[in-house]
Structure 1
Amino acid sequence: MTTMADDVGRLAPGPAGSRLASGLGFAVLSAASFGLSGSLAKGLLDAGWSAGAAVAIRVLVAAAVLAAPAALSLRGRWGLLRRNAGLVAGYGLVAVAGCQLAYFNAVVHMQVGVALLIEYTAPVAVIGWMWLRHGHRPGVLTLAGALVAALGLVLVLDLLSGADLSVVGVAWALGAMVGAATYFVLSASESNGLPPLALACSGLTLGAAALVLAGLAGVVPMHVSTAAVAYQGSSVPFWVPLLGLGVVTAAVSYVSGIAASRRLGSRLASFVALLEVLFALVFAWLLLGELPRGVQFVGGAFILVGVVVVKLGERRTAAAAG
């Protein structure tokens, strides 16, 4: 877990300034690659794939891509995996498999936008966890940024007209929120000595195994198709979006997300990750022809402002601790 001293080191002037800049870059890359997953997956679902099958193969491909680099990053220190078995289990079962399973079960009972909004209350959960567990009381600016970003999400997801809520769906969406919050908190942990590539690969491997077992148990339907996948009037072989899901939206996104969290801290990284919603809208427009409405662009501006305010709040909190 991150400490306030870690946050001071991340946000202080000098060499830590480049650490902050690189952290923001990794966070944006992670948000963009995660944001692409919805559009790629929708094409597969329309072609006859089940969500469970698409997610399982996505995680399996990512684990395979990262296997060799992860082994090299360990440099023979295999004992790190044994010593961090709990961390890997939490990351793979809760942050990867559990989050995905909960989200897809949520959308069975409620609108996708509503489920996504509930899941993206994860930054608020991260603030609460850091406050209760580590005594990192959020400042006024951090809380203000959280409120502004939350309002932006409401506008981006166009929920002002109201939406029907299912108690079961809300419960599953809250489970996805816990998974997302766990992802940010565990990704920010540096004291374990486990390289980001090793954590991502081992967690993805365990998550993939859990998803396959869930499919065999009938918890998640597993249907595949070899039909061509259509995007904006064009069609591509089914394996093209599958590779995109595995390599870009899983391998790249998880590794860059861990790198971002370790540079920015779990709270700030979780708020920058809200940009995933904006990237998802852009990719949906480019690949599926779903043009965002004006109110969604306004919501995007609110999200950006909220992220900036949170960053300022983190700086003030770190300065006060110093």
Structure 2
Amino acid sequence: MHTSVSSRGGRGKGAGLALALGSALAFGGSGVAAKPLIEAGLDPLHVVWLRVAGAALVMLPLAVRHRALLRRRPALLAGFGLLAVAGVQACYFAAISRIPVGVALLVEYLAPALVLGWVRFVQRRPVTRAAALGVVLAVGGLACVVEVWSGLGFDALGLLLALGAACCQVGYFVLSDQGSDSGADAPDPLGVIAYGLLIGAAVLTVVARPWGMDWSVLADSAHMDGTAVPAVALLAWIVLVATVVAYVTGVLSVRRLSPQVAGVVACLEAVIATVLAWVLLGEHLSAPQIVGGVVVLVGAFIAQSSTPAKGSAEPVAAGGGPERELSARGTAT
């Protein structure tokens, strides 16, 4: 029986890791599809609005099916929509209007470290050294991937906005774990995502003001490294894969792993985005970026494979059950 339970736990952990990697791949492909649309004439905020609003329409039937969530978990739905959807997108795009994209991306992906900080200092729970080391390696590798040293002129407000995106991403990982140990009473993750997208779309409508968008761009073609691609096809990828699939697999991965581990694996999004840009857009990687990508992979592996130390007070690590207390203890938050 012990072997059977361990085997099921191992398969669940493996499935969670696969879902997290799939989510990182889906999220990482958003920039490659969005950049040709922006270069074709769409405002970045308009692309974000199309992404979220389109995904909200796709998930609308699920929202109707899980309408009871509006009564049972209104705070969770509002938090997910404001933080995990609208907050991350709006803060990030506002940040890159003032500071280099690489710097903004690095600051945003401090989220895994902030998650561990939340667990350690707010919830006052110990974390393993391996998990902390994995985060340090992942962040250090990201510094190489985005070549942070190339942007030296920092704007204080821009950095604050990027940090806001990181904090919103922490909300995404923590909120995604809500109710994972509640059994039949746990909120359905698909319903949470559906209402989160609806709320996010409503907020972004006010911010992006899509009524001023140049809709004719979507009827034409955009160019991806010299190759003409229908703009509608790129938009479909952004909506269906980079948003719907990305959020669904991301939330399901958190349910099987933990917020901090899924956050570390999500750091691979930057690596995946860079590789896809190299292959599809002709944006070649430099040697430091390749080294940084390897460091991120190593950091994610260390954090994912770490286990609680024997005799310890069940520190938070990549596998096992103690981290599931996040759901019960984080409900008030």
Same structural fold, with TM-score higher than 0.5 when normalized by the shorter chain: yes
Q: Distance in 1 between matches of 2:310 and 2:239?
A: 37
Residue segments in structure 1 that go unaligned for 5+ positions in a row: 1-11
Q: Give the direction of change, closer, same or farther, for the CA distance of 1:317–1:84 in structure 2 (3 Å limit).
A: farther
Match of 1:274 in 2: 267
Q: Give the direction of change, closer, same or farther, for the CA distance of 1:46–1:319 in structure 2 (3 Å limit).
A: farther
Contact 2:85 2:196 survives alignment (8 Å): yes
The aligned runs of 1:1-322 (5 Å cut-off) are: 13-69=6-62, 71=64, 74=66, 78-189=67-178, 190=180, 191=182, 193-216=186-209, 222-224=213-215, 225-226=217-218, 227-313=220-306, 315-316=307-308, 320=312, 321=314
Deviation >3 Å, runs of 4+: 69-72, 221-224, 317-320
Q: Distance in 2 between matches of 1:144 and 1:201?
A: 35
SS in 2 for 1:108: coil
Q: CA deviation at 1:132?
A: 2.8
Q: CA deviation at 1:66?
A: 2.2
CA offset digits 1:191-243 (Å, max 9, x no partner): 4621111111110011011100222399xx84542332101221122211111
Q: Distance in 1 between matches of 2:233 and 2:25?
A: 18
What's the Cα RMSD here?
Answer: 2.0
Q: Distance in 2 between matches of 1:101 and 1:156?
A: 23
Q: CA deviation at 1:134?
A: 2.5
Match of 1:8 in 2: none
Q: Distance in 1 between matches of 2:200 and 2:310?
A: 35
Q: CA deviation at 1:13?
A: 2.5
Contact 1:114 1:163 survives alignment (8 Å): no
Q: What percent identity do the matched residue pairs reach?
A: 37
Q: Give the direction of change, closer, same or farther, for the CA distance of 1:60–1:162 in structure 2 (3 Å limit).
A: closer
Contact 1:103 1:176 survives alignment (8 Å): yes
Contact 1:138 1:317 survives alignment (8 Å): no
1:142 counterpart letter in structure 2 = A
Q: CA deviation at 1:17?
A: 1.1
Contact 2:62 2:194 survives alignment (8 Å): no
SS in 2 for 1:243: helix
Q: Give the direction of change, closer, same or farther, for the CA distance of 1:318–1:273 in structure 2 (3 Å limit).
A: farther
Q: CA deviation at 1:280?
A: 0.1
Q: CA deviation at 1:79?
A: 2.4
Q: Give the direction of change, closer, same or farther, for the CA distance of 1:241–1:88 in structure 2 (3 Å limit).
A: same
1:129 counterpart letter in structure 2 = W
Q: Distance in 2 between matches of 1:174 and 1:19?
A: 32
Residue segments in structure 2 that go unaligned for 5+ positions in a row: 315-321, 323-333
CA offset digits 1:132-180 (Å, max 9, x no partner): 3322222221221121111101111112345221101001101111111
Q: Give the direction of change, closer, same or farther, for the CA distance of 1:217–1:161 in structure 2 (3 Å limit).
A: closer
1:18 counterpart letter in structure 2 = R
SS in 2 for 1:230: strand
SS in 1 for 2:6: coil
Q: Distance in 2 between matches of 1:303 and 1:85?
A: 36
Q: Give the direction of change, closer, same or farther, for the CA distance of 1:68–1:299 in structure 2 (3 Å limit).
A: same
Contact 2:103 2:151 survives alignment (8 Å): no
Q: Which has the higher contact order (CA 8 A, sep 6+)?
A: 1
Normalising by the residue count of structure 2, what TM-score does the alignment of the two structures yield?
0.86
SS in 2 for 1:236: strand
CA offset digits 1:42-79 (Å, max 9, x no partner): 1000000011111111111112222335555x4xxx32
Q: Distance in 2 between matches of 1:93 and 1:317?
A: 37
Contact 2:78 2:196 survives alignment (8 Å): yes
1:164 counterpart letter in structure 2 = G
